[in-house]
Chain A
Amino acid sequence: MGTALDIKIKRANKVYRCGEVLSGVVVITSKDTVQHQGISLTMEGSVNLQLSAKSVGVFEAFYNSVKPIQIINSTIEMVKPGKLPSGKTEIPFEFPLHMKGNKVLYETYHGVFVNIQYTLRCDMRRSLLAKDLTKTCEFIVHSLSQKGKLMPSPVDFTITPETLQNVKERASLPKFLIRGHLSSTNCIITQPLTGELVVENAEAAVKSIELQLVRVETCGCAEGYARDATEIQNIQIADGDVCRGLPIPIYMVFPRLFTCPTLETTNFKVEFEVNIVVLLHDDHLITENFPLKLCRM
């Protein structure tokens, strides 16, 4: 079926860091010779911000002002207009990954209201008779390691009916005592979140204990901002009425792409939190929130 265009990035995981050289090949496969008006390769990186529906009403004034922020954009001409032979043609390329001016290469992040994405696009322009061919391929940028920034910050916590906020009828709550700790709320993104939790006692049977990983995305500028917290994933660490007094491990792997080192810029912020959610059999839901600070080492 005519001509196919493909980009193959050299690294299997497609992960590159600022200062490295992104290399690979563009592969063109065709049964016949291919006439073209030039083949170019474009590297693009941008931050896309979007306001949530509930925010839009309030901040209509700057709705339109939320434009994609370009981080990187450069094009190279790979092949001048001409002909390619039939069969498979591989054209190697190398693209140095550098900051442009003072624009930082933020880490790739796929969120709900904030998206940071890097792509390679290959364009083959053709004559009027044949359609232009385009192939896009995402690659991943990891920020440079933030040396010396990580201080372990363990947290001990105790949850009882008395420690809860936002309770309507405290008297109707069953008695319970849950203790535990997080090894650190300053986390290395490649390492799991760890800790322990002990149900010392609970009048009502435990139904489930979960770790809810939450992203908090803030989009805004001088006029105001929109801040939204949404769930990334929910990991159950206890199922059913667990043994009292026995420490249960807290363990959660940070998903790739959906998390990035905690990011704070003038236009937007990406932060993370974890909720420890205890569900009792009478459908009481107890949540304890811990802000996290993620970084890459």
Chain B
Amino acid sequence: MYTFPLLFLLRHARSRNYVSESEVCKLESVPLDFGDYHPLKPITVTESKTKKMNRKGSTSSTSSSSSSSVMDPLSSVLDGTDPLSLFAAAADPVTTTATMDSTRKKRDKDDSSAVGSDFEPWSSKRGEILSRYTTTEKLSINLYMGSEKGKATTTGSAVSEKVRTRLEELDDLEEGSQKELLNLTQQDYMNRIEELNQSLKDAWSSDQKVKALKIVIQCSKLLSDTTVIQFYPSKFVLITDILDTFGKLVYERILSMCVDSRVSLPDNFSPESVNDTAKETCLNWFFKIASIRELIPRFYVEAAILKCNKFLSKTGISECLPRLTSMIRGIGDPLVAVYARAYLCRVGMEVAPQLKESLNKNFFDFLLTFKQIHGDTVQNQLVVQCVEIPLYLTLYSPAIDWILQCIAYHAPEDYINCAEVWVEYTCRHFTNREINTVLADVIKHMTPDRAFEDAYPQVNNLFCQICKNLMCIFLDEEKFLPFLDMFQKESVRVEVCKCIMESFIKHQQESTKDPVILNALLHICKTMHDSVNALTLEDEKRMLAALINGFIKMVSFGRDFEQQLSFYVEARSMFCNLEPVLVQLIHSVNQLAMETRKVMKGNHSRKTAAFVRACVAFCFITIPSLSSIFTRLNLYLHSGQVALANQCLSQADAFFKAAVSLVPEVPKMISVDGKMRPSDAFLLEFLCNFFSTLLVVPDHPEQGVLFLVRGLLNVIQDYTWEDNSDDKVRIYTNVLHLLSAMTQEAYIYHVDKVDSNDTLYGGDSKFLTEINKLCETVIAQILDHLKTLGKEEVCSYSRLCSDYNTLLRCMLKLPT
């Protein structure tokens, strides 16, 4: 049931635009055929008469080399005898427009297909340049029209009477003669150039292609003249208008030759679809231009028809642009050269905006030649013209502005690559204000469309550059947080934070208490800390912790210890998931307590005593939250030593008790750097260390003699040691060391302002007896162990014995 309406629709007539179709069909009415328009044809026509006359001279097309145009292949193709010229005259829309302005509008419209409307077009710059670079001095135009005799036939009716007389004047130029127009005001000059523009179009439409080319060559030659230098930018604008007209005329003419079987070429045609005749004509233009004697006209005219390379090959433009770019190096005057670069960038952008390399090359070549400005040639010229350097430099700005605009167009990636480099320069040589400007600009460029997402490495790097150079100052800036906001993906954000912290740690010379920095960095560290989850790799955690520790170490409130402690308390609450940070905090707090002691020279006041107790309490409640048992043991021991040093005896006891009661929990195997290792060596080391401390720990008045030592011995006794190891015996021999040291009248070392057992008991016999009892027990244990040893263990047996002997000698004070 749906078939019928569908069929009906299909049979509906195709909509047609008869006007445009007839336009296309009309083109056919002029017969195109091969052979007719070939440049060489007229040569053969005239050869019998002119042969001898022609056998001299050069092909160079400027006046000065006095070429004979009769022999010239291009002039012959363009002398109007071919039907295509007639055809082009009829079909060319440019020739029918009377004023330059309408041409320009049309051109701009066309351009928008190549570069987006977000690219500020040249047309919007030209007015500004013309009004800015003016002069009251008298100008001159020096034209040299060569040996072209033909006259423009009729000028269009739209041309005013005045212009027509001027055109006739132009046409009156005698063969090989020179015409110099002197004493022109700026307005006169502009009128004259506009007349030339008009006469170019007239020459073209009346099939005097060689004359048209000569006008263009002569106009481009005016660009090598830098007298009245302050007018140069405006002159450039006026003359490149003519070049644009010319480029357009040539392109459209060749395009019109490509019309095959009623169909004109699509916009993005390939060179294969261009017929031989059009190619040959195009090639003729390029050959003709390649033989232009002078550098500047040759450059400008070739650049003007750059687009025509599309007819010849796909790679033509991309090969031409670099060549033309390096060709500009031959232009000695730096101002003339920079405008040539601007023009090349302009046509390059119109034709192939994707070819960025040549744009960059132009800019860098300009930088390479910048030194010329201070050379004698330029300086002498400025003296002659009474132009100061500051004014002279402003003449460069429209050209550089344009080149940079072309380079920067549609290039967030390029933008950020540049900004990345630029920011380092800014950081080194400018103040916060400029850095702020750069940052604001980066934010402005990278925020739209979330462009930063594609450029995280660069933005990241840029950020690091800033950090590297100006860490502290930078953190004050109001742009800091907005900038940080750009990193919305957490992994990237953490990377940036890491980068900031790395550079902070690397470059921060002195410790700081600046609240702004602390606030910002705490924020950053918190971000890093919060990124840690169950899946975070150990390495990553270690790295983050190291960075946070580095920051913690750099924070100092000087003598304001309480502030310092409260900072540590805050840090503990913020970074509780990273054990190494907690360890660092414990060490820092211990250090703080020791600092306090140092300041008070060991005599705590009530206030400082309370403060160190607070520190000790901090450690005491923090240590149990750690998972590594040896870390806990060592920290208990270490914090106990600190407590002891600060005369917090009961707190020290508490630490040591905690350590003692933790020993039974030590597992047989522990993980060290990701590998499982036996724990005995670590335990042995810890216990020896512990024993050394226990020597100076005074007994608690309410507990028995050597309460802690006994407790530890019990724990060692109960600990399940490896069957065939002598660790236990080795520990016992160390206990003997300790006990023997305890029996001395005055101990080998003390803690300042703490009375150890030697003072407390004063060598009391009861105390000594207790120790002897302990010794006996320990020795008995050792002997028991020795009995169990087999013969094969003779070696270790003898070693143990020697340990034991030494000990005994020591204890019993026997002569050796």
A112 to chain B, nearest CB (A): 5
Set A119, A238, A248: member contacting B44, Cβ < 8 A: A119
**Interface pair B369/A243, CB less than 8 Å apart:** yes
A236-B295, A249-B323, A249-B329 known; A255 vs B35 contact (CB < 8 Å): no
A138 touches B55 (CB 8 A): no
Interface check A291, CB cutoff 8 A: no
Which one of B41, B47, B365 has the highest number of Cβ atoms from chain A below 10 Å of its Cβ?
A: B41
Q: How far is the CA of A249 from the CA of B40 in the complex (A)?
A: 31
Q: Is the CB of B333 within 8 A of A233?
A: no
Question: A206 contacts the other chain (Cβ, under 8 Å)?
Answer: yes
Q: Are B331 and A232 in contact, with the CB atoms below 8 A? A: no
- Whether B287 pairs with A239 at a CB distance below 8 angstroms is no
Within 194-211 of A, Cβ neighbours of B (below 8 Å) are at: 205-206, 209
Whether A10 contacts B34 in the complex (CB less than 8 A), given A243-B371, A253-B291, comes out as yes
* A25 nearest in chain B by CB position: B35
Partner among B60, B73, B334 whose Cβ is within 8 Å of the Cβ of A256: B73
A253:B44 contact, CB within 8 angstroms: no
Interface hit among B210-218, B275-283, B681-689, B772-780: B275-283
Contact-residue size bin, chain A (C-beta under 8 Å from the other chain): 35 or more
Contact of B495 with A by CB under 8 A? no
B283, closest chain A residue (CB): A13
Residues of chain A within 8 A (CB-CB) of B448 are none
8 A Cβ contacts from A210-252 to B: 230-243, 246-249, 251-252
Q: Return the chain A residue nearest B377 by Cβ.
A: A241
A139 closest partner in B (C-beta):
B40
Chain B residues lying within 8 Å of A241, measured Cβ to Cβ, are: 332-333, 372, 375, 377
Cα A233 to Cα B57 in complex, Å, equals: 9
Q: Which residues in A have their C-beta under 8 angstroms from that of B44?
A: 119, 136-138
Contact B368 A50 (CB under 8 A): no
Task: Kindly state whether residue B313 has any CB partner on chain A within 8 Å.
Answer: no
Task: Flag whether B643 is at the interface (Cβ < 8 A).
Answer: no
Please indicate the chain A residues that have their CB under 8 angstroms from the CB of B377 in the complex.
Answer: 205, 240-241
| Cβ contacts under 8 Å, B368 to chain A | 243, 246
Chain B residues with CB under 8 A of A231: 58
Pairwise interchain contact A232-B327, C-beta atoms closer than 8 A: no
Q: Is the interface of B mostly helix, strand, loop or mixed?
A: helix
- Does A8 belong to the interface (CB within 8 Å)? yes
| Contacting pair A243 B58 (CB below 8 A) | no
* Complex Cα gap A13–B290 (Å): 18
Q: Is the CB of B295 within 8 A of A138?
A: no
CA distance A131 to B73 in the complex (A): 30
Q: Is the CB of A205 within 8 A of B73?
A: no
Instruction: Please name all residues of chain A whose beta carbon is closer than 8 Å to the beta carbon of B369 when the two chains form the complex.
Output: 243, 246
Within 8 A of B (CB), among A1-34: 7-14, 24
Give A156 to B408 CA distance when docked, in angstroms.
39
Contacts of A10 in B (CB 8 A): 34-35
Q: What residues of chain A lie closer than 8 Å to B333, measured between beta carbons?
A: 240-241
**Quick one: closest B residue to A13, CB to CB?**
B280
A contact patch SS: strand
Q: Are A11 and B47 in contact (CB under 8 A)?
A: no
Q: How far apart are the CA atoms of A137 and B276 in the complex, in Å? A: 19
Given contacts A137-B41, A249-B323, A251-B327, contact A235 B55 (CB under 8 A): no
Please tell me if B5 contacts chain A, counting CB pairs below 8 Å.
Answer: no
B43: chain A residues at CB < 8 Å are 138
Q: B290 contacts A253, CB within 8 Å?
A: yes
Q: How far is the CA of A28 from the CA of B38 in the complex (A)?
A: 19
Q: Please give, as numbers and ranges, the residues of chain B lying within 8 Å of A111 by CB-CB distance.
A: 55
B47 near A138 with CB under 8 A, answer yes
B296 at the interface (CB under 8 A from A): yes
| A207 and chain B: residue at smallest CB distance | B332
- Judge whether B33 is part of the interface by a CB distance below 8 angstroms: yes
A143 CB–B CB distance under 8 Å? no
Is B224 close to A, CB under 8 A? yes
B338 to chain A, nearest CB (A): 12
> Using Cβ atoms and an 8 Å threshold, which residues of chain A touch B286?
253
Tell whether, in the assembled complex, residue B38 and residue A239 are in contact, meaning their CB atoms are under 8 Å apart: no
Q: Are A8 and B276 in contact (CB under 8 A)?
A: no
Which residues does chain B contribute within 8 Å of A14, judged by CB atoms? 35, 38, 40
Given contacts A240-B332, A243-B372, A247-B329, whether A11 and B295 have CB atoms under 8 Å apart is no
Contacting pair B295 A233 (CB below 8 A): no
Q: Does A110 contact B (CB under 8 A)?
A: yes
A183: Cβ under 8 A from any B Cβ: no
- For A237, give the chain B residue with the smallest CB separation: B330
Task: Check: B65 CB closer than 8 A to any chain A CB.
Answer: yes
Q: Can you name 26 A-B pairs with beta carbons within 8 Å? A: A10-B34, A10-B35, A12-B38, A12-B279, A14-B40, A50-B55, A111-B55, A119-B44, A137-B41, A138-B41, A233-B59, A233-B291, A235-B293, A236-B294, A236-B298, A238-B330, A239-B332, A240-B336, A241-B332, A243-B334, A249-B323, A251-B323, A251-B327, A252-B290, A256-B73, A258-B59
Q: In the complex, given contacts A110-B71, A136-B45, A252-B290, what are 4 additional A-B residue pairs having Cβ atoms less than 8 angstroms apart?
A: A233-B60, A233-B291, A249-B329, A251-B327
Q: Hey, which bits of chain B sit against chain A, CB under 8 A?
A: 33-36, 38, 40-41, 43-45, 47-48, 55-56, 58-60, 65, 71, 73, 224, 275-277, 279-280, 283, 286-287, 290-291, 293-296, 298, 323, 326-327, 329-334, 336, 365, 368-369, 371-372, 375-377
Listed from nearest, the 9 A-B pairs whose CB atoms lie closest are A240-B332, A8-B35, A12-B276, A238-B330, A253-B290, A138-B44, A241-B377, A236-B295, A241-B332
Residues of A within 8 A of B (CB): 7-14, 24, 50, 110-113, 115, 119, 136-140, 205-206, 209, 230-243, 246-249, 251-253, 255-258
